[in-house]
Structure 1
Amino acid sequence: RTPPQVRERERAEQALRHSEEYFRSLIENASDVITVLEEDGTVRYQSPAIERLLGYAPQRLAGTHAFAGAHPDDRQALLQVFQELRQTPGAVRSVTYRNRHAHDGWRVLECTATNLLHAPAVAGIVVNSRDVTERAGAQEALRESEIRFRTVAESLGEGLLITDLDDVILYANPRMEEIYGYRPDELVGRVGLDVLIPPEDVAPFRERMARRAGGVAERYEMRSLRKDGTTGWVEVHGTPFRNAGGEVVGTLGAITDITERRRVDEQLAYDALHDALTGLANRALFLNRLEHALERIRRGRGIPFAVLFLDVDRFKLVNDSLGHGTGDELLREVGARLAQSLRPGDTVSRFGGDEFTVMLEGVGTPVEATQVADRLLQALAVPFSLGGREVFASASIGIALCDSGDVNPEELLRNADAALGRAKTRGKGRHEVFDRQMHAAAMRRLQIETDLRRALLDGELRLEYQPVVRLETGRIVGFEALVRWQHPQHGTILPADFIPVAEETGLIGEVGRWVLDESSRVLAGWHAAAPRDPPLTLAVNVSARQFLQPDLLQQVECSLRRHGVAPECVRLEITESVLIDKADAAIETLRALRGLGVQLHLDDFGTGYSSLAYLERFPIDAVKIDRSFVHGMESEPRRARFVAAIAAFAGSLGVGVVAEGVESPAQPRVLRELGCQYAQGYLFSRPLCADDAERLLARDPAWVYA
């Protein structure tokens, strides 16, 4: 019999063998590689998985150094980790390095080593290794992608912001500091709504965030809040930011600072709606507000109002005796006093020249209106201090009341103007309220109509010609034809006195045909008598009512053909009022005229509220800057800037610029430097009859002003 002690030992040895076989089976079938190293790093045992991992047979590696196949660049770091590991019993270290594959370059291994030198059962260092080549490649690609992204993002000329769906900032490029004043590290982790947007704009921005979360990309302008508390404007192109699965996880915002552009746009818009001299509303803005007030009454939501038409008495005397500079200063002071004497909601405008208009909403009776008029007259009765001189001025005021939407702005102004005429005839420095008994003015207009019909039959109309000079050479390149009425009793009558009547009565068609035909005849004669290269041009004014006549194109074509005038030698001058009422019809007529070959000029440019838009929308060849901007501009920087802005804007669209009202020798040089190509005015010549104009052409003067 076997003694019990022997049987016990045999059972223990058998259990040990089973345990060793079990663990060996685990090691040899594990996907990870198991290596047991001696203290000096020599391989004592290598699991079979090494052949799958690196292509080496396990027995081939036994007795070799564990790091023999390591990449040269990684070996030093490996040795340092190994040294630290074997000096500390029980220590565990992890390291990632590259190891040569037996047949195919390098593999990236992730190893975890445990120091079991002190454990009698092992007495070695156990290393667990796995292949992480693909993961390392992906990580490297990700790092390179991040580097490329940052390189591009940090070199952009615009700000770049990445936020999550809660508007927490995940990334900001350096350009953001220039726009908002925050360094990128000051922004990351903060909520954009809290630091970059004025509080009053947060609510609408939340709506944009909701749209972005729904996958909508947008481009928009919004206010910005800088670190120092100031606000500006930015243009944002917001794009939904998606993860690999296509799910929206945030926003990518490309941000451009447009503060200066907005300032310039707002200034241009303001200048287009306001008088350059006084800063008050201009004619166009006043008419616009007047029309809105009438529209509110038509819809039953308006209130009665009064229109005051004010004219500075004896203003011409101030201009002639003290100079235009003093006259301008007086107009500025008059405008300021009027504004100070009115309620904040009232509208006061410089309507043109020395005329001002006022709209008083809620003032519906003669008593109320005359009380305001008295207050204005009292304000203007206080002497003005102009250039060290004490100047007394007064004004006359015409008042028209409105409580019905049946009238239009022009009729209201005409009524107020009629009342103004009565105030002037009754001694000036007073006010009058329009009433239906004012027949005198109407009778006079009727007489003008009668006389004008006779004038067309008797040949009393004539043309005068004012030269247009090319500023670069100082030589005449053309003329503007100006119609005059030589009345047998009243002498010369200017267009302002009879063209409105002609438009109202329908006579404008006959007047316009005569002007076109006569100007074409004279131009043809000049071309025949003294040919020029390039040919002499002639500008003809077309009134608003004439422009809207259906046979205008036929009129122009017939006149040019009858006299053999090339269309490109003719410029038709229109005012923006032509374009306001029926824009669609106007653009068709303009295109037809351009198709004929004539050039189109926009007269009195800068005095209306939409001139800048007209240059882009309508086929205009040149603009004529109104004399109100040219006058005094050499000493008024604001006017010069306005002229420069018009010239620059027109130039960017390929539109020419003609300056009117040139009177001082300094103006041609300034206008040329500001970008104007042509000019006309009394400095060169007053309007001349055809014979005098022909003699002027024969002299071929060249005006040179250094």
Structure 2
Amino acid sequence: MDVQSGDRRSVPGAAFTAPPRTWSLRREWSRAFILMLIALLVGAAVTIVGVRGVVGHVQAADSRLLLEAERTGSLRAALDAHEELGHRLLSDPAADKAAFMAQQQEISALFDAAATDLPTAESGPAVGDVRQAWQESLASHGLWSDQVDAMPGTRIAESPGFAADSARVRALLAGVQRSSLAAMDKALAFTADLELILVAARIGLFAIAVAATFYFRRRMVKDLLRPVASLRHGALKLQAGQYTHRISVHRRDELGELAEAFNAMAAAVQDSHLELTHRATHDSLTGLPNRAALMERLTASFDPEPGGNMGNGARLEGLLFIDVDDFKGVNDSLGHERGDALLIQLASRLQSCVRADDLVARLGGDEFAIVVMEDDGNSVTGDVAERIHNALRAPFFVAGDRLTVTASLGAAQRRPDTSDAAELLRQADFAMYMAKHGGKARYQLFDSRGHDHMAYRAALKSDLATAVAARQLRLEYQPVADLLTGEIVGLEALVRWQHPSLGLLGPADFLPLAEETGEIQAITCWVLETATQQAAGWRHTIGGCENLWIAVNLSYRQLPDDRTLAAVERVLADPAAQADRLVLEITEAALAASRDGGISVLTRLKALGARIAVDGFGTRAPAPGSLAALPADLWKIDGAHLARRGPAASPEAALEDLMGLARNLGVEVVAEGIESPGQLDLLRALGCRTGQGYLLARPGPAQMVEALLASGARLEHVALA
């Protein structure tokens, strides 16, 4: 089974059907193991039978040898005793003949036993020959059986002959013993042959076992190990994401079926991977590439090409960020289904405006992006943007509704300092934001200075969120003086921000940002509490300051906020704050922007006991009857009236009209922006009693203002350094 790469794909959800099996590993290896078991059993049986045969032959030969030695030894002893007694009878007829006869009978019995136990000799004398020679020897000398009783006298002369015959009998008996030893040698020789046969059989079985081992090892490597290794290799390839990897099948056996199943699984995984990849990189509504595909394309453009260098290897691409103007109104008025239909048509038009190498992507909602391949030395991003605007001039038709759609386009072109794809996308997004705020239906190229300013504002917004908690805010106080006597009658609290890295920032640098982020509420609460407590302390500790009032500015965004009323109530709950000594300043522009001219808001604030001042009064033409209904205690006349120059811009008439109007309505006037003695003299001449400005005193920290109050100085040309 070999490993190969292929791209065969299966139909997802289709059942896998394996081809018919032509081989069976189970059957083959079962037979192999049975044959090996039979070989082992045969070898064991041959060994057992051979060993038992060899041992049996040796034992039988030994038993025969022992028996023959016993029989021949008994015969030899009996024959020797009988010969001795025969010699006595030959020399002395009176010897014990009965004993002699008894010995003959005993020897005959021994010969009978020896003839039964000892086999017939193949060569040499047999036991019968020895018996016959023994009988003939006795008979020839008259000593056999009944001859003994008829023996005539002394026959000693026959003793030598009898001795010779007896010796011949013993010689024959010894020949019988030698014949037994020869039979024993033959049995041992057969045993050696049997041993050789056994060794040869074992060697043959071993050779067969070795051959079978090599054969089955080769079959195991080919049919088991290699397929299993191939499957493991394929699994590792699949785990590594190489979903096109397939395994070749050369045998239709169990492992072949497993390989086929693996290939089917790999094909299904590949199909699922392709489908999931398409889903992950494409928008389900429009079919366009999504943000992930866009970032992959942009990231690839920042990577050097193979063989290229960092300077010339990267592709030059521009990026267009597109946002449909007022698309929320389409969804709200026509519904999301028609809004989706509009986006589908819009995606088609965007694709018709680009070239084959460009990429149109949907980022989400009504946001699209286009990666534009730039020509060498020429930017075509602007041309694509122009084609898009032209394409959008034609109306869209959605479910019978005729819709006119515009879009704001932001463009960013890659520069040497553009670090990565995410930064290029942020630049294009910022350019689109600038186009949106520049009037919509526009094309805006990224401006680095504007972006830096926006980043600066964003950083300030982020730092502003912790300014109050980190105790970074500071208060400065500008005195408000009686213009006739120079006495300090009030103070205006002005907030500053001691930024940890930018230093001291004025209110114009951060209060507009606080209004955007909502931090203005926390800042105003801190100013109210700090300023009223400081003023209460000065009224209590410094002589002549018992009637000193403190003015705090409110933002126009706080007018409709109930939290503002709650903050003022919390501050005035302290009796030392003295509600009639707190002046809440609201700009005339903020009142004009409110729904009823600010009357309801000022009425609610005034009901808490505080005094109300309209800051920057006189910058707008008041509506008839609105001034009389305005619950204001003070008008702070804008310093622009005093700064007018030229014969046609004399401030006297306008100031005189404002002063007369204030007297008629019973409202106190505070002049702002007094910067010259002439302006001070003019205000005195017009009957303006109170004012503030750099001529009288600049804003200063609490320590310097406290020293000024404690000195009892009269303000006319006194300035706080």
Q: Higher relative contact order by CA 8 Å / sep ≥ 6: 1 or 2?
A: 2
More strand by share: 1
Q: Which one has the largest radius of gyration?
A: 2
TM-score category, normalised to shorter length: 0.3 to 0.5
Looking at secondary structure, tell me which structure has more helix per residue. Answer: 2
TM-score in terms of structure 1 length = 0.38
